[in-house]
Structure 1
Amino acid sequence: MAKKERAAEARASTSKPPAPAPAPGIEVQRRTVGAGRWTSRRISFYASRAFFVLIILQIPLFRVPCRAGTCTTPIQVTSSQLVSNEIFPPSIVKAMLFPGAIVGSLTKSMTFPRWNDLFDMYNLTEAKNASAVIDLQRLEILAGSYFCVAGALVGIINPGRMTLFGTLLVIWGLVKEAIFGKPVNSDPAQSVYVYPTIFIALVCAFMSITYNVKKTVRNSPSVSISKPLQSSAKSKLK
């Protein structure tokens, strides 16, 4: 009996199929959604930084008469108004002018400007004695310059529509004076001139606005479309 049982166990062990080999580990590659794509937030980030560079480095955008003589950037227009009205301390105005003064001095004469000579460089020492009629004739350019400077500074933290609004105001003031001739200026050296860089500033200001499509769709009211009920029973009244 023992031999028979051993033979039966041997046959059973040989008849069993071999155990399957363990499956190799499957590597799952996770890809970050939106990685490497130009999303609206990323475009707004770079556009606001580009607009900040245009404003703070005082890249010429236009040429208009102002209290300082001739202004070519929104910071120069804003600084002449702040100095003449004494709204902010002179140190704050010099802090806004200093980055552009460094770039201008290095590109022209390869020299470094002095802090105490900034007002002399921009003809702001006599801005208090200048007539206010020059600014009153160009209120759109003055207000737009304020918004451009403030929007460029605020846009580093939180980009918004202030830069676009200011740029459009400046462009409207330039168009009104150049096309409609208001006010009339007979001096060619004091005439209005628009640099092509103002269109770059306009594009940067427009692209710095973030637009959240998902939030707009979520907040949009739902419209229910209902079909009229069709009666299955025919009217018997004729």
Structure 2
Amino acid sequence: MPHRPVAPRAQGGDAGGPRALSLRYFNPLGADPQLRTGLQVLQPTHAVGRMIDAHHSGQAFTITGTDWPTPDGTCVRDYVHVWDLALAHVRALRRFETVLPADGTDNHQVIILGGRKATAVRELVDTFSEATGTPLPVVETPRRPGDAVGAYSRGTRAKNLLGWEPQLTIADGIRDSLRWYEKRDTILTTDEIIAKPLVRPCGRSSPLVVVAVAWAPGGCLVAARPSMPLCRSAASGVLAAATTYCSARSLIFVVRARRVVTS
């Protein structure tokens, strides 16, 4: 970074240029509470999806790594319900001009969205077992290369800038995921169900751009091309909520996934 840049920039870019608000997720879970949409992949790689597969197949769920510096030795993650994410997008659209005023010096803000709670893998297993009424069998294995102990969000910027806080719990997300699993094949066509998610060489889904929403004065154009199968339920929720509630004037609205797949 030059000490004396030739063309100084505002914090988020050139003042007066296009304004952008980036929302970054932690780990989405759940489905539309009204079951209009949900996870659209047959072989999920995220924790709750794999728990559902294990529950229905009778196989054990694998816990990778039990020697982390956490209360129960398993890594922790921050989970947020996809419907809460959809509502956060609506808040962002409605408050766009307040967060990024046209005459302001900042034309880009990044807001982290999460459940604001560190949930250990064993805790997630216990919550899943309570939701199904059946103990989920588990098998423990060593850590995987590249695994991390985890992180969780504070939610301060989301609350202060958007007036948003998560309302639904992890248990709500698990119950909605289970209900969607039972109903999915009656709603989606074969072409809409993805056999396998996009994966990195290490076997995890790639946290790429999930949804792009562009707004024009007097109307809106909403384009959703989720690169993460897990986030398609969030994307569909955004579309449903945004087209129902919003008439924003902002130019550009970009949504990114910070990390959407857990151990």
- TM-score between the two structures when normalised by the length of structure 2: 0.27
Greater helix content: 1
Higher gyration radius (CA): 1
* Structure whose residues are more often strand by fraction: 2
- Higher relative CO (CA 8 A, sep ≥ 6), structure 1 or 2? 2
